Structure 1
Amino acid sequence: MIILKNVTLRRGSKVLLDKTSVTLNPGEKVGLVGRNGAGKSSLFAVLNGTLHEDGGEFSIPSQWRMSQVAQDMPETGQSATDFVVEGDTLLLAAQTEVAAAEASDDGMRMAHAYMALHDAGAHDAPARAQSLILGLGFSVAELDRPVNSFSGGWRMRLQLARALMCPSDLLLLDEPTNHLDLDALVWLEAWLKNYAGTMVVISHDREFLDAVTNVTLHIDHSKLVRYGGNYSKFEDMRAEQMLLQQAAHAKQQEKVAHLQKFIDRFKAKASKAKQAQSRVKALERMEKIAPILADADFQFEFKEPFSLPNPMLSMSAASFGYPAPSDALAGTGPTVIVQNINRSVLAGQRIGILGANGQGKSTLVKTIAGALQPIGGEIITGKGLNIGYFSQQELDVLRPADNPLDHMIRLVRDTPASVRPSAMDCREQGLRNFLGTFNFSGDMVKQSVGSMSGGEKARLVLCMIVWQRPNLLLLDEPTNHLDLATREALSVALNEFEGSVMLVSHDRALLRSVCDEFWLVSRGGMKDFDGDLDDYQVYLLDEARRQRESASRKAA
């Protein structure tokens, strides 16, 4: 077992853990939670031996093999399959011993070495690696592609596959879902449920934690507090504790009132068949989460839009994709991904965009946002449409050398006078005050964006969107860099938003709480998805199996 006894841990002058103790038993699946900066990653560093405690005792079984996802971006010309196979350290050691035994010309040593190589699974290692790679969303055609040919997010998926390939007694996972689509996430959950060793995972995805953990370890005020159960169980117990301990009852009641619109809205839509069942659960959770939100660092809300055109927009025989590259051969046309779409987005609609990896969810949202032009057909926008667009690449659009105040001043300059807030709000002090509501205060308004964390950058993007007072929100994976408390704040803000929402996300808790209906992008088209998110997870697993079988038939 893993034992921490009266452990003290410091980073610089800051005390992260103060004489705290906890025991983790073999085979437990542990979710490590706590506010940003509480010390979660530092505790990981203690577990993997790269950081040592400043006081107390820490012990871990010496014979345990450990695996974790390397944080460096791999730079290699190896094929994806070979790169992941090398994650099997037991196999690598056996291969090294075979080479040494053959060089020694020692028959007995060679016999033992070949037996060890067989026991390490050399015969099926490529197949095991490829199963991991395909499960994480790669196609069969990409199995032999060089690692260097993939983008950063896909290379990090390969690092995850490599960590899963490694035989281990302790698996450490730090935000493993950040680069995954929902289909890959569903697969990863199924894989981790069957993992036999001890696992400690840091994640800001509540449903992922609920699915794969049975113990929650909370870093709270420099102490490690152990709770039996997954994240939702922890949340329930902590909410009860806070209700008992919370002296500032008035502050809690203010937050409860702030959530009442959210609760009433779900009750009003309780007739929506299967989705209503999810709403009942969401209501129960939101009633319990009130005291946790009362303790949170950050809350925000979307201002009332200037207008609510209805419909917001209409798509007529629209096709979405990418234009032919400028250097394409003559006769090469555009790449069409989704086609012949005839739909309208109405005022007040809350739409979740679903679809397996590569089916065109982001392409659809990019085109509606105007970042891409329709390949065919047309998109007719309502008078006064004002889009707030959060792109997966939105953080890269921020200017690293500029600070938050620079970004807001530029936003004022680029926003038409007819839809700007009041003149006072557009002056520097007004912009500083607005940034302060998103926790950018004091020196932070002058801090370069390049030096900020991913969560701070995401908060700045949300700040800029809220300032524009949009009436249609297009959100493509908005939670990738947000902690649990900020995700809850986003969920509450979206449910109080009076405009329309189109949301692409692998955060199922956000999809459940925000969306009233789902559109499924699949096989070049789009249709309503009538089930709930549990049905969608079954659909994704069936779709992945269908694609694997199709690839196998083609290979044969």
Structure 2
Amino acid sequence: MTILTLKDIGVTLGAPLFTDLSLTLSPGDRLGLVAANGRGKSTLLRIIAGEAEPTTGDVTRSRGLRIGHLVQEIPERLMPFPFRAAVLDALSPDQAENESWRVDIVLDDLSVPGELRDRPLTALSGGWRRMAMLTRVWVTEPDCLLLDEPTNHLDLERIAGLEAFLTGLPRNFPLIVASHDRAFLDRVTNRTLFLRPEASRDFALPYSRARAAVDEADAADARRFGNEMQKAAGLRRQAAKLKNIGINSGSDLLTVKTKQLSERAERIEATARPAHREGSAGDIRLDATRSHARALVTLEDAGVTAPDGRMLFRTGRKWIVPGDRVVLLGANGAGKSRALALIAAAISAGGAEGLRIAASVVPGIFDQGLTGLNGADTPFELIAGNYGQSDQTVRGLLAGVGIAIAAQDRPARNLSGGQRARLAMLILRLIRPNLYLLDEPTNHLDIEGQEALERELMAEDVSALIVSHDRAFIRATGTRFWRIGKGRLDEVDDPEAFFAGMEGGGGG
């Protein structure tokens, strides 16, 4: 039984986002939607939900299908609402009056703590606001879920809870998930659609296995295209040779043969399809310098405190040496970001109680709020004059990270999250640090950007202290792991026990 059919769907906004997309969704399909930033994922979800129209093609939904659509943006009008009231608002007036009990059931299903239910959304974290929007969708009892970046702003514990909720749905419940979280896609999907301007590819596999399959298919396409172009070139060489012979001999037969060979070459060239190449949303490159210090940072049982002064944990005696990529593991609120901020402040001050900093340390700090890029300064102003680059070079650098000329002289706060993240990485590159302090660096990056950052961090001599909720990123980049728990910081061999504790509700 098919509940949704897309036939030859296409959307063109200046340039094609995708074309000739045909797809069916059946009960039990859990489809992961993968594409770079700005390549049409949200647009496709809106079309499926009936909130937008395609440029070409048709959408057929089964009769009475109720679609629940989790969008990325939170309506401004809901921000003053308490959590529970925001969910109740999703029901019809009659349902809200007579069936308000449904809200409490859904709040329980999604493990929303009682103390949060009467707090206004303005007083909640981005993660809990995200959960409020998901709860609003789920309370309407949809037959199918469309989830647009559902893990945005969620910490590992809440991601694990969302995974448990989705995998616990009835096996025949369908959903479509647009996400850049590779581990999340592997856990909750059984199909993957790679959305492309032409020839999108669909595999009945979760993300990691589908990625291997699409890479193999693209490589086969590249070989096939090369062979066809080589064959066409051979035909053209034969045609040119015969043409010369025909001219010298005056043979009409050779003239006809020359024309036939040229036409065969033209047909091959016209029908050959080049292999897909993912257009970059912007380069991510790092440029680290080296330090010959034995230890970049030495922790001498430093205390990490909450904003109100409460002691969160003590570090014990630990070191970060050149080449270490240390990942801080801990439950939400354990003090990971506070620890990064403490070390950043100590670097700025040349040291602090319980902290020794090597004199050669040059820090590269990436904070998850991208606070330095939220003001009125333009991308051009943030780079020009600060790093010894000419104006022309600055324009080229900004274009290279995906910020078009027209956007370079507008306030940086108007850029997309992905563009601001790439701008922040460009600033780090120009600083040329020897110690990166990275707080949720993949939050706004698409999969292409995440993988580019991983490659850069894994280059020789890159040293970093990392806080991240992205399990694939942690596994790829971490060389050492420090786990916060029971008031202390312990070194562990790998992050897997911590991840398992989160998935099991242990909280770390």
Q: TM-score, normalised by structure 2?
A: 0.80
SS at match of 1:478: coil
Q: In structure 2, how many angstroms separate the alpha carbons of the residues matched to 1:74 and 1:318?
A: 44
1:381-431 deviations in Å (ceiling 9; x for gaps): 00211111111112x32154322221013533xxxxxxxxxxxx5333443
Residue number among 336, 352, 362 corresponding to 1:361 in the alignment:
336
1:437-448 superposed matches below 5 A: 437-440=400-403, 442-448=405-411
1:185-210 deviations in Å (ceiling 9; x for gaps): 11111111122321111101111111
Contact 2:436 2:463 in 1 (8 A): yes
Contact 1:22 1:224 in 2 (8 A): no
Matched, 1:457 2:441: no
- Structure with bigger helix share is 1
SS at match of 2:331: coil
Tell me the equivalent position of 1:261: none
Tell me the equivalent position of 1:255: none
Tell me the equivalent position of 1:141: 115
Amino acid at match of 2:391: E
1:136-285 superposed matches below 5 A: 140-196=114-170, 197-246=173-222
RMSD, aligned CA:
3.0
Tell me the equivalent position of 1:42: 43
Q: 1:496 to 1:531 in 2, by over 3 A?
A: closer
Q: In structure 2, how many angstroms separate the alpha carbons of the residues matched to 1:224 and 1:520?
A: 41
1:42-100 deviations in Å (ceiling 9; x for gaps): 1111111111233332111231222122522463555434433555x48x75454x5xx
Amino acid at match of 2:425: L
Residue number among 64, 73, 86 corresponding to 1:83 in the alignment:
86
Unaligned runs of 5+ in 1: 99-116, 250-290, 325-333, 413-424, 547-556
Q: In structure 1, how many angstroms separate the alpha carbons of the residues matched to 2:450 and 2:414?
A: 22
Q: In structure 2, how many angstroms separate the alpha carbons of the residues matched to 1:356 and 1:312?
A: 26
SS at match of 1:246: helix
1:238 Cα deviation from its structure 2 partner: 1.1
Matched, 1:338 2:313: yes
Q: In structure 1, how many angstroms separate the alpha carbons of the residues matched to 2:17 and 2:403?
A: 24
Amino acid at match of 2:401: F
Q: In structure 2, how many angstroms separate the alpha carbons of the residues matched to 1:182 and 1:29?
A: 21
Contact 2:80 2:122 in 1 (8 A): yes
Contact 1:404 1:449 in 2 (8 A): yes
Q: 1:399 to 1:81 in 2, by over 3 A?
A: closer
Q: In structure 1, how many angstroms separate the alpha carbons of the residues matched to 2:292 and 2:139?
A: 51
Q: In structure 2, how many angstroms separate the alpha carbons of the residues matched to 1:21 and 1:336?
A: 56
Unaligned runs of 5+ in 2: 227-274
Q: 1:374 to 1:184 in 2, by over 3 A?
A: farther
1:505-536 deviations in Å (ceiling 9; x for gaps): 11111111111121111232211123442x22
Between 180-189 and 151-160, report the one with greater CA deviation: 151-160
1:25 Cα deviation from its structure 2 partner: 1.1
Q: In structure 2, how many angstroms separate the alpha carbons of the residues matched to 1:203 and 1:462?
A: 21
Q: 1:95 to 1:322 in 2, by over 3 A?
A: closer
Between 498-507 and 482-491, report the one with greater CA deviation: 498-507
SS at match of 2:161: helix
Tell me the equivalent position of 1:54: 55
Contact 2:193 2:200 in 1 (8 A): yes
Tell me the equivalent position of 1:494: 457
Residue number among 482, 485, 499 corresponding to 1:537 in the alignment:
499
Q: 1:140 to 1:309 in 2, by over 3 A?
A: farther
Q: 1:28 to 1:376 in 2, by over 3 A?
A: same
Between 446-455 and 518-527, report the one with greater CA deviation: 446-455
Amino acid at match of 2:8: N
Tell me the equivalent position of 2:489: 526
Tell me the equivalent position of 2:438: 475
Amino acid at match of 1:242: D
1:103-114 superposed matches below 5 A: none
Contact 2:350 2:357 in 1 (8 A): no
Residue number among 334, 345, 349 corresponding to 1:370 in the alignment:
345
Q: In structure 2, how many angstroms separate the alpha carbons of the residues matched to 1:489 and 1:220?
A: 20
Tell me the number of residue pairs that the alignment of Structure 1 and Structure 2 aligns.
452
1:466 Cα deviation from its structure 2 partner: 1.2
1:416-435 superposed matches below 5 A: 425-435=388-398
1:125 Cα deviation from its structure 2 partner: 4.7
Contact 2:130 2:150 in 1 (8 A): no
Matched, 1:352 2:353: no
Q: 1:140 to 1:363 in 2, by over 3 A?
A: farther
Between 167-176 and 221-230, report the one with greater CA deviation: 221-230
Q: 1:364 to 1:540 in 2, by over 3 A?
A: same
Contact 1:35 1:483 in 2 (8 A): yes
Aligned identity (percent) is 28
SS at match of 2:192: strand
Tell me the equivalent position of 2:380: 405
Q: 1:503 to 1:407 in 2, by over 3 A?
A: same
Tell me the equivalent position of 2:365: 389
Contact 1:474 1:502 in 2 (8 A): yes
1:214 Cα deviation from its structure 2 partner: 0.7
Q: 1:339 to 1:10 in 2, by over 3 A?
A: same
Amino acid at match of 1:147: L
Q: In structure 2, how many angstroms separate the alpha carbons of the residues matched to 1:76 and 1:38?
A: 29
Amino acid at match of 1:509: A
Matched, 1:10 2:12: yes
SS at match of 1:446: coil
1:292-303 superposed matches below 5 A: 296=280, 298-303=282-287
Q: In structure 2, how many angstroms separate the alpha carbons of the residues matched to 1:190 and 1:243?
A: 36
1:154 Cα deviation from its structure 2 partner: 3.3
Contact 2:325 2:465 in 1 (8 A): yes
Amino acid at match of 2:499: Q
Q: In structure 1, how many angstroms separate the alpha carbons of the residues matched to 2:503 and 2:49?
A: 33
Larger radius of gyration between Structure 1 and Structure 2: 2
Q: In structure 2, how many angstroms separate the alpha carbons of the residues matched to 1:310 and 1:243?
A: 44
Q: In structure 1, how many angstroms separate the alpha carbons of the residues matched to 2:287 and 2:133?
A: 41
1:481 Cα deviation from its structure 2 partner: 0.6
Between 373-382 and 312-321, report the one with greater CA deviation: 373-382
Amino acid at match of 1:514: T
Q: 1:437 to 1:162 in 2, by over 3 A?
A: same
SS at match of 1:62: coil
Contact 1:29 1:199 in 2 (8 A): yes
Amino acid at match of 2:324: Q
SS at match of 1:406: helix
Q: In structure 1, how many angstroms separate the alpha carbons of the residues matched to 2:8 and 2:444?
A: 32
1:347-376 deviations in Å (ceiling 9; x for gaps): 111111110111111111111111899998
Q: 1:542 to 1:30 in 2, by over 3 A?
A: closer
Tell me the equivalent position of 1:307: 291
Contact 1:301 1:496 in 2 (8 A): no
SS at match of 2:42: helix
1:291-339 deviations in Å (ceiling 9; x for gaps): 9998655544332415342210112231122455xxxxxxxxx233223
Q: 1:408 to 1:308 in 2, by over 3 A?
A: farther
